[in-house]
């Protein structure tokens, strides 16, 4: 209490009057205001100022939270780190790798600015702190009360009370990679534990959230070096925080978190998995939208429909094997395309780019297998394919199921056991344990040639749309070859997918025909009616403008001495190929424009 009348003449007394309005604190507020008024009455009030302070309130009850000092248990972390220098070096030297790698900077910052660890919590449930107090306030620490009495017999006659606080959750969790095997691993320095911990420790990969990077990950690294003398794992994969479309973290209080069971009922379990993985690169937040799950469901439907198509083209007699098939070029192409994709997917997995691995698998199945390969080998309506093509297609589908299984376990396992396609499997012959062969070398030439064929077919279909020509109407196609490519092996694919009735190789431009470029080669379609010259000119002028802008960008990159000197040779070679292709296409387009 302050005696207002007893204040010395030059004494300055300060009061902070908080504007509490909650019940129970208003009277306190009024008392402080009265003190200020009394000081002003004797001309001792120097000044009054308004301060706006942040008053914490309980999330559940709304009550005001005031800080209160209390006795806590702390761990001297600076001393702990000093005794174990490998804790900081493990991540800095990449004995433990973080994915994404940027997280190692956060880890290093924490290690350099380590604070003492408050390991006590005022909770009823948890591991009670193994400390006992006597009636004079002295404390004793031991594994148990019995252990305390055995180590210090004089405590047997004392009235001891165990500390009511519990250990911090992370103080038990930091021992997780070790304690799951056997607590005797801590018995003494000579006993290194049982066979389990010696076999499984250290583990390979830890998957966790970035917000507990210090609470759990860093502390497991600390405990591993302290009690086992080595890091507990080799890689840490950090998932992102799931947020809604507005960027808000999903929570019960906001009510913006969908029910997973409802999503599964709507899109299927595999659809939800694919939808989540497509938008979750390592360490980045996930902006959740149901449309991603819809995309996953559509992908599952695509696989199911492709499987139905494969079953539908099954030959009536699989005993008659014909080694020669008109679809051999399609089989050769997809064999090489699969090996190219497999190398890319393996590289993504090696570098913990899971969403990129899924996207590469997605494109292989949706674009290459379904949109192109199946269309190349699909027989006419209600007819069957040859045995060699069917067997190759079934083999491709089995390989695809293996690739997709980590992302879509339910659908792939179901299809894997289809007896009509794959025959009766043994009990343990499951997709989950099926081995994917290591990627092999692939022929880049056939991949490039098919890309040219695919682009040509796409251009033919665009011309049909622009000219409103029925897909059923066959068209004549002429090719002026500038690249030296042999089109004979790909003639059947061009005629089938482009509905071409006549394919010819020419040495000169065909005046009056609709033209387009694929790669460096010129393609001409002679239409029965006259073409719109002005529209064709406009289209070519637009394409010339685009290519000139593209070529300018490539030339700037190649004229940059630092880029040419520092970039990998294959990267520079790719840019030079882009330059050559663009120049060749520009020359052809300008010549076509002149002829028009």
Question: In this predicted model, what pLDDT tens digit does every residue of 87-100 receive, in sequence order?
Answer: 988 898 889 999 98
The C-alpha atoms of residue 238 and residue 281 are separated, in whole angstroms, by 9
The C-alpha atoms of residue 102 and residue 111 are separated, in whole angstroms, by 15
**Is the pLDDT reported for residue 59 higher than 90?**
no
Please check whether residue 132 is in contact with residue 148, taking contact to mean a CB–CB distance below 8 angstroms.
Answer: yes
Mean pLDDT to the nearest integer, 375-393: 90
Q: Which of 49, 59, 53 is nearest to 20 (CA)?
A: 53
**Is the pLDDT reported for residue 152 higher than 80?**
yes
**pLDDT given at position 308:** 95
Q: Which of 303-307, 485-489, 526-530 has the highest mean pLDDT?
A: 303-307
**pLDDT given at position 190:** 47
**Is the pLDDT reported for residue 188 higher than 70?**
no
Provide the 3-class DSSP secondary structure of residue 389: helix
The C-alpha atoms of residue 378 and residue 332 are separated, in whole angstroms, by 16
More confident residue, 542 or 280: 542
Mean pLDDT to the nearest integer, 368-381: 94
The C-alpha atoms of residue 469 and residue 501 are separated, in whole angstroms, by 15
**pLDDT given at position 470:** 87
Q: Which of 213, 421, 417, 386 is nearest to 315 (CA)?
A: 386
Dihedral of CA atoms 436, 440, 445, 447 in degrees, nearest 10, equals 10
The C-alpha atoms of residue 297 and residue 273 are separated, in whole angstroms, by 10
The C-alpha atoms of residue 159 and residue 136 are separated, in whole angstroms, by 10
**pLDDT given at position 184:** 62
Sign of dihedral through CA atoms 325, 326, 332, 335?
Answer: negative
**pLDDT given at position 321:** 61
More confident residue, 65 or 477: 477
**pLDDT given at position 52:** 79
Mean pLDDT to the nearest integer, 492-499: 92
Confidence of residue 8 (pLDDT cuts 50, 70, 90): very low
Confidence of residue 320 (pLDDT cuts 50, 70, 90): low
More confident residue, 75 or 528: 75
Nearest 5°: phi and psi at 32?
A: -65, -35
pLDDT in tens, 344-374: 999 999 998 999 999 999 999 999 999 999 9
Considering the chain, what percentage of its residues have pLDDT values greater than 90? 44
State both tokens at 401.
């199921």
**Is the pLDDT reported for residue 583 higher than 50?**
yes
- Indicate the range of 313-317, 438-442, 444-448 predicted with least confidence: 313-317
Mean pLDDT to the nearest integer, 425-440: 91
Mean pLDDT to the nearest integer, 107-128: 90
Q: Which of 238, 237, 248, 239 is nearest to 289 (CA)?
A: 248
**pLDDT given at position 481:** 92
Confidence of residue 183 (pLDDT cuts 50, 70, 90): low
**Is the pLDDT reported for residue 522 higher than 80?**
yes
Please give the sequence-ordered ranges of beta strands (E in DSSP) within 469-554, or none if there are none: 475-480, 500-506, 514-518, 521-525
The C-alpha atoms of residue 553 and residue 67 are separated, in whole angstroms, by 61
Please check whether residue 596 is in contact with residue 538, taking contact to mean a CB–CB distance below 8 angstroms.
Answer: no
**Is the pLDDT reported for residue 214 higher than 50?**
yes
**pLDDT given at position 592:** 75
State both tokens at 76.
């001297």
Cβ neighbors of 133 (< 8 A, separation 6 or more) are 139, 140, 160, 161, 162, 163
**pLDDT given at position 228:** 86
Sign of dihedral through CA atoms 350, 353, 356, 357?
Answer: positive
The C-alpha atoms of residue 309 and residue 40 are separated, in whole angstroms, by 93
**pLDDT given at position 141:** 92
211: which DSSP letter?
A: G
For residue 582, what are the CA distances in angstroms to 454, 520, 548?
Answer: 19, 9, 8
Residue where the block lists tokens 């979750």: 280
Full-model pTM: 0.73
The set of long-range contacts for 580-587, using a CB threshold of 8 Å and a minimum separation of 24, is 581/519, 581/520, 582/547, 582/550, 582/551, 582/554, 583/551, 584/482, 584/520, 585/517, 585/520, 585/547, 586/544, 586/547, 586/548, 586/551
Please check whether residue 107 is in contact with residue 218, taking contact to mean a CB–CB distance below 8 angstroms.
Answer: yes
**Is the pLDDT reported for residue 10 higher than 50?**
no
Give the chain's mean pLDDT: 86
**pLDDT given at position 185:** 52
**Half-sphere exposure at residue 63, Cβ-oriented, CA atoms within 13 angstroms:** 6
For residue 304, what are the CA distances in angstroms to 297, 299, 415?
Answer: 11, 9, 8
């Amino acid at each position: 209490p302050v005696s207002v009348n007893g204040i010395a003449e030059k004494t300055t007394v300060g009061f902070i009057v908080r504007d509490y309005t909650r019940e129970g604190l208003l009277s306190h507020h009024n008392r402080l205001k009265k003190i200020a008024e009394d000081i002003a009455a004797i001309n001792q009030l120097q000044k009054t100022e308004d301060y706006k302070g942040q008053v914490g309130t309980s999330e559940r009850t709304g009550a005001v939270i005031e800080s209160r000092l209390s006795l806590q248990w702390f761990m001297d972390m600076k001393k702990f780190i000093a005794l174990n220098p490998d804790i900081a070096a493990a991540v800095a030297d990449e004995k433990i790798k973080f994915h994404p790698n940027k997280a190692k900077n956060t880890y290093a910052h924490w290690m350099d600015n380590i604070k003492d660890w408050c390991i006590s919590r005022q909770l009823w449930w948890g591991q009670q702190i193994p400390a006992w107090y006597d009636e004079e306030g002295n404390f004793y620490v031991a594994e148990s009360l019995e252990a305390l009495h055995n180590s210090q017999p004089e405590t047997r006659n004392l009235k001891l009370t165990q500390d009511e606080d519990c250990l911090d959750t992370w103080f038990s969790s930091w021992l997780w990679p070790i304690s799951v095997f056997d607590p005797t691993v801590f018995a003494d320095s000579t006993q290194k534990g049982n066979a389990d911990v010696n076999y499984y420790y250290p583990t390979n990969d830890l998957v966790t959230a970035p917000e507990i990077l210090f609470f759990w990950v860093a502390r497991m690294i600390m405990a591993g070096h302290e009690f086992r003398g080595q890091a507990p794992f080799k890689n840490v994969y950090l998932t992102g925080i799931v947020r809604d479309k507005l960027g808000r973290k999903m929570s019960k209080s906001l009510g913006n978190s969908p029910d997973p069971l409802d999503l599964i009922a709507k899109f299927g379990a595999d659809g939800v998995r694919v939808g989540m993985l497509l938008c979750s690169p390592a360490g980045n937040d996930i902006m959740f939208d149901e449309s991603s799950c819809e995309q996953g469901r559509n992908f599952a439907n695509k696989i199911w429909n492709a499987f139905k198509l494969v079953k539908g083209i099954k030959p009536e007699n699989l005993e008659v094997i014909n080694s020669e098939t008109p679809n051999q070029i399609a089989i050769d192409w997809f064999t090489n395309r699969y090996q190219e994709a497999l190398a890319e997917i393996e590289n993504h997995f090696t570098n913990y780019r899971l969403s990129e691995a899924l996207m590469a698998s997605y494109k292989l199945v949706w674009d290459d297998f379904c949109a192109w390969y199946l269309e190349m080998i699909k027989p006419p309506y209600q007819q069957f394919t040859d045995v060699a093509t069917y067997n190759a297609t079934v083999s491709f589908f089995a390989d695809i199921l293996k690739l997709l299984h980590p992302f879509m376990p339910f659908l792939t396992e179901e299809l894997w056991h289809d007896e009509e396609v794959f025959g009766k499997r043994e009990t343990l012959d499951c997709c989950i344990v099926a081995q994917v062969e290591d990627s092999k070398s692939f022929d880049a030439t056939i991949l490039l040639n098919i890309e040219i064929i695919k682009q040509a077919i796409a251009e033919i279909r665009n011309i049909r749309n622009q000219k409103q020509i029925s897909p059923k109407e066959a068209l004549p196609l002429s090719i002026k070859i500038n690249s030296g490519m042999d089109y004979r092996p790909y003639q059947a694919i061009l005629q089938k997918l482009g509905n071409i009735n006549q394919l010819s190789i020419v040495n000169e431009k065909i005046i009056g025909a609709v033209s387009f470029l694929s790669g460096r080669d010129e393609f001409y379609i002679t239409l029965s009616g006259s073409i719109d010259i002005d529209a064709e000119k406009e289209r070519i002028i637009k394409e010339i403008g685009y290519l000139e802008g593209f070529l300018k960008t490539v030339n700037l990159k190649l004229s940059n001495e630092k880029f040419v000197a520092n970039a990998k040779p294959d990267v520079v070679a790719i840019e030079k190929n882009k330059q050559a292709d663009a120049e060749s296409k520009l020359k052809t387009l300008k010549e076509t424009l002149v002829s028009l």
